[in-house]
A and B are shown apart, each in its own frame.
Chain A
């Protein structure tokens, strides 16, 4: 069976060079980086060199990089850690309505501890208006968090402008760059971010290795307390092999980014152009041009995402959906609802995110398989029957 993987946003394959770099640390180099003996120091050297590589990807200094276990941990760490470190100054947080749950849920938890928050709305393309962020800032606002790019709809947010506004009001700015890092050129200095989350499994690194950038001089409270790893900000023995893989993937991403983008963007544009042409009532979600270079997302009217996902999977095609049925909580995507889509349309969400190495044959396979899948499900759909009835006079 022909295979086509369009689920970059869920996980990217591990780059073979990252795997090779990791292997010694799953084998002969097993020392604990905190040990003073040479076995430990060898592991420490690997961790520190990975720190430099990750810093290099985003224009940071290596001492500003803190390794964590996942993008979700990085986000939790930033939101909880910064809010609690700066709470003497104020207890108000500003977030966008389309942040990942790993930003929104810690904010909710903080509200139980006496913090308050303001959610900034987005437009129909999923864009945050920096002016709206400015309006949401209060005297007691200590932290604002807006993602660099949204993984569900691909839209890139005007984070540099938002960071500038926050800085002028002495508000810390965090950006969840998990979907963007490795795919978009990022420079924390140009961006003006105080904190930034990234995860290796979004740019061909291993799962379980991620990082939080924290601008020098920024205080933060640890989520995990214990030893003095990561400068005392994140206790626990380092995931040495994972960190090494993350570092290698970051170095490759930096040198390969332009070429990867050049390879994937034409396919993205082809999907955006062609899919709605080949199947009626398919609408693009997110911004048409200001979006991740590997990301094309749609809502297919009158049918639900899980059915499409399962039928496509039977044809060897892997995709994501933001429909209620595909989520464990059975809730429709808060991102699509925040963009003003109605529930029925949001249920038809389908996200195609391309990985490097995708060729025209994968796209052709999708174009061949997709229309009959949609037709099959629409034949079963009461909403489609209703639509046909309304259309025929």
Chain B
């Protein structure tokens, strides 16, 4: 088997699967191009993650990672939860196959996005104004398909997805080279 027993356990019996309809924060990462998408829902009480739920479209590793993150995060303070990294999650799972480390190991990112989303909501409530939530603020340095980091000066190629990327002239977002339209703004790209 390509996966550790712990990965298989979390894949077969994922903890905390589901949707929180009145979530305090929602975070999404990934894209079907890469094969993995994760959505995390959090409920926050007294600065603690009272409940964490997730839904995942993806391989066994992606499902196990999501499950592991939800278990690691539940009950933690927001600050503690922000210290959970993708690397720690992989370690906690007893390792992941090398080729899955990038694409499928996005659970911590999704959790962090949900926490950021919660914080943004708090801020906008404080200000009494609604603020657009930018889930994609890291895009400048991450592949838009797998959210894996792009190395400095290598923004044109994602090693994990093995695809060529380019900057959309209209919105400045990173999108797949050769696609008809930009993944972010939908503008037609020059062939």
B residues within 8 A CB of A344? Answer: 32, 57
Report how far A266 CA is from B28 CA in the complex, Å.
44
B34 contacts A306, C-beta separation under 8 Å:
no
Shortest distance between the CB of A218 and any CB in chain B (Å): 35
Interface residue? A381 (CB, 8 A): yes
Interface residue? B150 (CB, 8 A): no
A residues within 8 A CB of B95? Answer: none
Interface residues of B in 44-77 (CB under 8 A from A): 55-63
Report how far A342 CA is from B19 CA in the complex, Å.
26
Closest to B163 in A: A331
Interface residue? B104 (CB, 8 A): yes
B residues within 8 A CB of A324? Answer: 33-35, 103
Shortest distance between the CB of A324 and any CB in chain B (Å): 4
Give 1 or 0 for each of B23-40: 1 = CB within 8 Å of chain A CB. Answer: 000001001111111110
A residues within 8 A CB of B38? Answer: 382
What range describes how many residues of A lie at the interface?
20 to 34
Give 1 or 0 for each of A360-393: 1 = CB within 8 Å of chain B CB. Answer: 0000000000000000000111110100000000
A347 contacts B39, C-beta separation under 8 Å:
no
Chain A binder among B9-17, B83-91, B113-121: B9-17
B60 contacts A380, C-beta separation under 8 Å:
no
Task: State whether A382 and B57 are in contact (beta carbons under 8 Å apart), knowing that A330-B162, A332-B35 are contacts in the complex.
Answer: yes
B residues within 8 A CB of A303? Answer: 57
Shortest distance between the CB of B157 and any CB in chain A (Å): 14
Interface residues of A in 34-51 (CB under 8 A from B): none
Shortest distance between the CB of A99 and any CB in chain B (Å): 18
Task: State whether A343 and B57 are in contact (beta carbons under 8 Å apart), knowing that A307-B63, A330-B99, A330-B103 are contacts in the complex.
Answer: no
In the complex, which of the residues A307, A314, A332, A381 contacts B59, with contact meaning CB atoms closer than 8 Å?
A: A307
A residues within 8 A CB of B155? Answer: none
How many residues from B make CB contacts under 8 Å with A?
Answer: 34
Report how far A310 CA is from B34 CA in the complex, Å.
19
Interface residue? A323 (CB, 8 A): yes
Shortest distance between the CB of A385 and any CB in chain B (Å): 6
B56 contacts A380, C-beta separation under 8 Å:
yes
Shortest distance between the CB of B67 and any CB in chain A (Å): 9
Closest to B39 in A: A382
B35 contacts A330, C-beta separation under 8 Å:
yes
Report how far A162 CA is from B61 CA in the complex, Å.
43
Interface residue? A304 (CB, 8 A): yes
Report how far A331 CA is from B164 CA in the complex, Å.
13
Interface residue? A329 (CB, 8 A): yes
A residues within 8 A CB of B56? Answer: 380-382
Interface residue? B141 (CB, 8 A): no
Report how far A383 CA is from B11 CA in the complex, Å.
18
B residues within 8 A CB of A304? Answer: 35-36, 57-59, 62
Interface residue? A326 (CB, 8 A): yes
Report how far A344 CA is from B12 CA in the complex, Å.
22
A310 contacts B14, C-beta separation under 8 Å:
no
Report how far A129 CA is from B172 CA in the complex, Å.
39
A330 contacts B161, C-beta separation under 8 Å:
yes
Interface residue? A11 (CB, 8 A): no
Most chain A beta-carbon contacts within 10 A, residue among B8, B160, B161: B161
A residues within 8 A CB of B35? Answer: 304, 323-325, 330, 332, 347
Give 1 or 0 for each of A334-361: 1 = CB within 8 Å of chain B CB. Answer: 0000000011100100000000000000
Which A residues contact B (CB, under 8 angstroms)?
302-304, 306-307, 310-311, 314, 323-326, 328-332, 342-344, 347, 379-383, 385
New A-B contacts (20) at CB < 8 Å, excluding given A307-B59, A330-B35: A304-B58, A304-B62, A306-B58, A324-B103, A325-B59, A325-B61, A325-B62, A325-B104, A329-B99, A330-B102, A331-B163, A332-B33, A332-B35, A379-B17, A380-B14, A380-B17, A380-B55, A382-B28, A382-B56, A383-B32
